Each structure stands twice: as C-alpha cells, then as structure tokens.
Structure 1
C-alpha cells in the first residue's frame, strides 16, 4: 500500500507580486491548485515543512493529499520555482487528479543491488545511471513513488536499456519502446585509468604479434630461382 503524503495549505485572496513578497517574508510560499471540475485556487504553504518535503522523491512523483483549510484534495506537483541561490521555494503549481482518470507524470528510477553485481565488485569498473526518471501513464492508485532497476547481474561493458526495466502493474510508458526509442538506463564502464591500461596492453600485444609475424617472414627460406634441367 502506497504511503500517504500530506501537506497543509491555506486559501488566500491577496494576489500579485506584492502579496507574494509579503507571504515569503512571513515564511510562507504562494501556490495555486488547478484542474479537475473546480476553478483554480490560490493557496499558501508553510515554507519550513515544504522545504523538508521537497527534498524527497515522492514530492515530485506521488499523489499528495493537500489539505486546504480542512478540505483534502488529491494533487500532483506540476511546477516549482526556486530562488536562484537562496534555500527558498518561490512558487508551486499543483494539479488536481481524479481517481478514475489516467495521468501522465515522471517517476524517478532507483538503482538497486549494484554492490552485488560482477561490475560492482570490480574496483576498476564504474556503474553509471544514464536515465534518472521515466514518463509514465497510469491511474492515480497505481502511481509508484519510484521504479526499481535491478542491476545485480550487470557486468563490465554491459548496458541496461529501458526495455530491461520491469514496470509495476498498471503502469505504462508514455513513449513505447521500439527500435528508435530504447534508451540506455545504466552502463558499466572501465574507469579511465583501467581503460587506458587495457588499451595500452592491447596495443602492446598487437605490436608484439606484428613483430613476431615480421620475424617469421624474414626467417622463411627464399624460393629457388629457376627449375631443374
């Protein structure tokens, strides 16, 4: 069962830049809720608990129970504006969701069991993520907080593609996988130093092979000229 995430908010009537500035000075963040059968509503959220909440993956991909003046609505975060250098959330956009209507959103990928994989046990190999999230469609009840990618079998040189990721029940990709769309999700590569050493060893081996072939050709007896009388 999915964890319920709650955020408390309050309705507001004052709008405009001046009103938003006063809210921020008072430790609150202006926001708006839209969508569904109701009109858009301007709200405000306490900044301190909001700042803590936005540090979690669920804040960006899960259904949030937004309590506005005692009334709870199910919403998804659709946009968040941060201050360019202060630890400050400037504005939020929430979209209402309906239980029976499919939604489109991005869900983060969580990579697991890397340390148990052949590549993870090799100190000369780095396993890197190439994709951090995926765009999915599903009913609100099926929306996962994240999708796990099991890398327990990844080996040096392997690439895990999106087609290798197991999606939870009821969840589909917005962009189906085909020959033109199957991006890499994770790759196991030799570290730069190890790769350079391996390339040097291959070059040395190739040079040794070439020298051996040259010596063999030089030692071969010359063909006799002319034939028997």
Structure 2
C-alpha cells in the first residue's frame, strides 16, 4: 500500500514518447511543477497533453512546450503563453479547444468509467457543428478541423455528445498526502487536479507534505488513494516554489 517514490525522476521514468498525459492546474495555480521538470529532464517527446492551459512560457507545461516535447493539446485556454499561441498558429502543434466545463466533465467521466455524455455547452457553434481549427498549415490555413458531433434533443432542448477522457499518465499536485495516495488540495489549487487524477491510468502526485496513513481526517480527503499510483514528497524549496501568474497592486 505504500505508494511513495523517492524522487520525481523515478516517478516519471516510464513515461514514454507519444504518451497521453493529463496535467492538473489552472494557470500556475496547483501545477505539478516538479514532476513536469523531471519529465523534461527525462526526455519524453511527442506527448499528447490534456490540461486546462499550458502554463506560461517558462513555467509549468510551457517548459515542455518550449522545447518541442508536446505534439497535441486538449485544453480550454491558449492565453498567457505566447509560445503556445505561436506553435498553434504556425501548425507546429495540434490543439483541440474544449469549453472549460466540458473539459472538466470529460475528465471526470473518463475517470468514472463513463464513455460519453450529453451537454448543452457548444450547441449551435463549431464545437458541435465542426470546423474548429485543430491544426493550421504553414500559410495559416486550416489543415485539420474538428469533426461534427452528434446532437440530440431531450425534452425539447438540444445537447451535444462529448466523450470521456482517459490518459496513460496523470500528474497532479496536492498540499497534503499520505503513503496510500489519499490527497488534500489547498483552496483554489484544487481546480482540475482531482479530475485529472481520476482520468489517468497511472496517476503521479507530488505533495507538499507527506503524512502517515490515518493522519488525514477521512472527511477532509478530496481524492481517495484508489486513483493514485505514485506519491512524491517535495522538499522545502520545491514546496515553496509557487510563482504568481499576475500580480495586481491597488493604489
């Protein structure tokens, strides 16, 4: 039952080229920065990433993106990362843009064993009708476009069929975790992390504080250990390394 791994490098060692990878976080909040850096050092390439966004140019998933390690992204937001936008617009990167709530539910559904579901989000738009640019050509034209999706009416309203997401691996960050993989997230750093963890066949968690089994109150656990296969304890410097994406100061 002890799922702890000594180092982040050991935890990500078997992530191969062309793996699918779900990654928690929202902007720079709650991102598994140490695991991402270990994966960058490990060298895996042509990764297909599922994440709300791709960090910024030199932090989070931006580290992998900037060195050409990512082949495809399924996410809901391109902003804040100039390299992400550049690669998408020049055809170097395939991007499947998905409404944010739909992305969250696709991850949850995949983790719960639900293959697909209907949602009103996107009905009447290119999300349902197809034609969203997934990949551009070098001249800026659309090389690959999204396909049309099934739309059905229920009780007089239209809904689009969306598929659940599962991935080979998932990387998440938690404030506290025990050796069995039970995790507690801190306030807004919870964001996509529990859903990402559910979707991964092998989920790796970096935790700021590692505690012994039984130390966590069952009522405060946000993600049960059944969804986590590996746990890495961060050192003090790694746990404190939290960049503020945008700082606003009121006069």
Regarding TM over 0.5, the answer is no
Larger RCO: 1 or 2 (CA < 8 Å, sep 6+): 2
**Normalised by the size of structure 1, how large is the TM-score?**
0.22
Larger radius of gyration: 1
More strand as a share of residues: 1
**Normalised by the size of structure 2, how large is the TM-score?**
0.21
